[in-house]
Amino acid sequence: MVPLLLLPLLWGGSLQEKEGYKLQVQELVMVQEGLCVHVPCSFTYQQSSWFSSRELYTYWYLSEDDTDYAYPVATNDGYTHVKQQTQGRFLLADPRTNRCSLSIRDSRKNDTGTYVFQVMTGYFERYTYQDKKLTLQVTDLTQKPDIRIRGPLESGRLTQLICSLPGSCEGGSPLIFSWVGSALDSLNPKTLHSSMLTFTPKPRDHGTTVTCLVTLAGPGVTTQKTIQLNVSYAPRNLTIGMSYRNVTAFDVLKNTSSLPILEGEALRLLCVADSNPPAQLSWFQGSQVPNAAPISRTTILELPRVGTGEEGQFTCQAQHPLGSQSISLSLSVVCAPRLLGPFCSWGEEDLRCSCSSRAQPAPSLRWRLGEGLLQENPNNDSYTVTSRSVGSWANSSLSLHVGLNAGLRLSCEAKNIHGAQSASVLLLPGKLVSVSRVVPAALGGAGAMALLSLCLSLISFCM
């Protein structure tokens, strides 16, 4: 009968709260290895008129330990030793504020367990709060460091990176920092072991990575975080590319002092600038770029049909908050010869002819009588050739004195690097017949044979 009578008393003293005693604490707390955690806790206890709060002592024990003989993990009792493995890491709040909060530094895997709170009042009157217990679980370290960039990340501007580890606390074991990254290769190695890193980024550092490694000296575990640098920099390596004749690929122009383009061609100009963020690109025509309005605000400038009106300077300007850059191109329009003539008339003793042509660059003119070439400075007096050029025009005159046989063909030919054209007259007794007007050199031998056939047909018809 005695054990049966004691059972309700034991149940009320160990598993149920005693009247006036109450504990409020989070029953499950999880923390990563090496980090800190604060567990809020409050309690009430039964006070008496003769009891002084200065005689109030609180303790945290491992639940599996005997609270009468084992060392606590934390206490405010200066006469009681704490466990060596928790000494200086488990800190207890001042019980006079009815606080039993527990601060844990440098959590270790062997801290995992269930803890029970005890209060001692008066003359060794102890009460253990068995109704609520604190279960602590220490897990693997997965927390990543935090990297903060102080100020804008701009090329040529001194920048600071600050690395910290969320969950760490003051008073814990030292944190060992180290920095890794191609942008930091030129720094003094001593500066790479501080939580604050100072360096000056360059355009080439944009898009590269920087890693902060943090080692917790207590448990000896390491965590790291990597960020990608977004470095702002002004435009550089400004280049112009071109394509024409419906070619989609662009060729980079290495020499922009002069770009010759055939008259009538469709030309596309591409402007490319290396900057971050991307610069605003604009095209200008003429030399007064600062005061002129852009003709295009796109990367590609389209010139569907190039003419003499497009000759001159084209400028691409890259505007950017950190600076601007421009590059200019001199466009020259070239064309194949356009022939006027020949125009001939009979004199009293000679045949006088003239021929003109316009081209860019200026063409050369020459005369042929039949298959023979008439030189400008002959060694005889049978003919005289006089030629001159002004700008894109070339003029030539011919005076034939002897050797005018009926049926000969007199030709004027104009030629430059972009093509050739010719026109002929047929010498008949007492008159001239225009055989052909403009014959592009590209027609080659087929064109010449066609002209010869036409000449023979005309001769037969006149006869």
- CA of 116: how far to CAs of 24, 329, 433, in Å? 12, 84, 127
- Rounded-to-integer distance, Cα 421 and Cα 283, Å: 37
**Each residue of 341-360: pLDDT tens digit?**
899 887 777 888 999 999 98
On average, the pLDDT of the chain sits at 84
| Separation between Cα atoms, residue 65 and residue 59, nearest integer Å | 12
Measure the CA–CA gap between 426 and 369, rounded to whole angstroms. Answer: 10
Q: What is the structure's pLDDT at 393?
A: 92
pLDDT bin (cut points 50, 70, 90) of residue 377 is confident
Which pLDDT score is estimated for 429?
A: 62
pLDDT digits (tens, 9 = 90+) for 206-260: 999 999 999 998 888 999 999 999 999 999 999 999 998 878 899 998 888 888 8
Which two three-digit tokens encode residue 459?
A: 């001769």
- Residue 442: pLDDT band by 50, 70, 90 thresholds? very low
* Closest C-alpha among 228, 255, 230, 229 to residue 240: 255
Tens digits of per-residue pLDDT, 23-75?
A: 999 999 999 999 999 999 999 988 765 555 567 899 999 999 988 889 999 99
Pairing relation of β-strands 41-44 and 372-374?
Answer: unpaired
Please determine, for residue 308, whether its predicted confidence score (pLDDT) is greater than 50. Answer: yes
Model pLDDT for residues 82-111, shown as the tens digit of each residue: 999 999 999 998 887 888 999 999 999 999
Task: List, for residues 123-159, the tens digit of each pLDDT value.
Answer: 678 899 999 999 999 999 999 999 999 989 999 999 9
pTM of the model as a whole: 0.68
Q: What share of the chain is helix, strand, coil (3-state, %, to 5)?
A: 15, 50, 40
Tokens, residue 208:
């590269």
Write the DSSP assignment of 48-89 as a string of letters. Answer: -TT--GGG-EEEEEETTS-TTTSPPSEES-TTS---TTTTTT
| pLDDT of res. 52 | 57
CA 154 from chain centre, in angstroms, equals 13
State yes or no: pLDDT of 451 exceeds 90.
no
Mean pLDDT across the stretch 255-280?
Answer: 91
Q: Where does the pLDDT of residue 311 fall: very low under 50, low under 70, confident under 90, or very high at 90 and above?
A: confident
Least confident range of 186-190, 292-296, 375-379? 375-379
What pLDDT was estimated at residue 232?
96
Instruction: Read off the pLDDT band of 2 (50, 70, 90).
Output: very low
pLDDT of residue 282: 94
**Structure tokens that stand for 172 in this block:** 């814990």
Q: In the prediction, which pLDDT does 310 show?
A: 87
Which position has the higher pLDDT, 2 or 190?
190
| % of the chain surpassing 90 pLDDT | 53
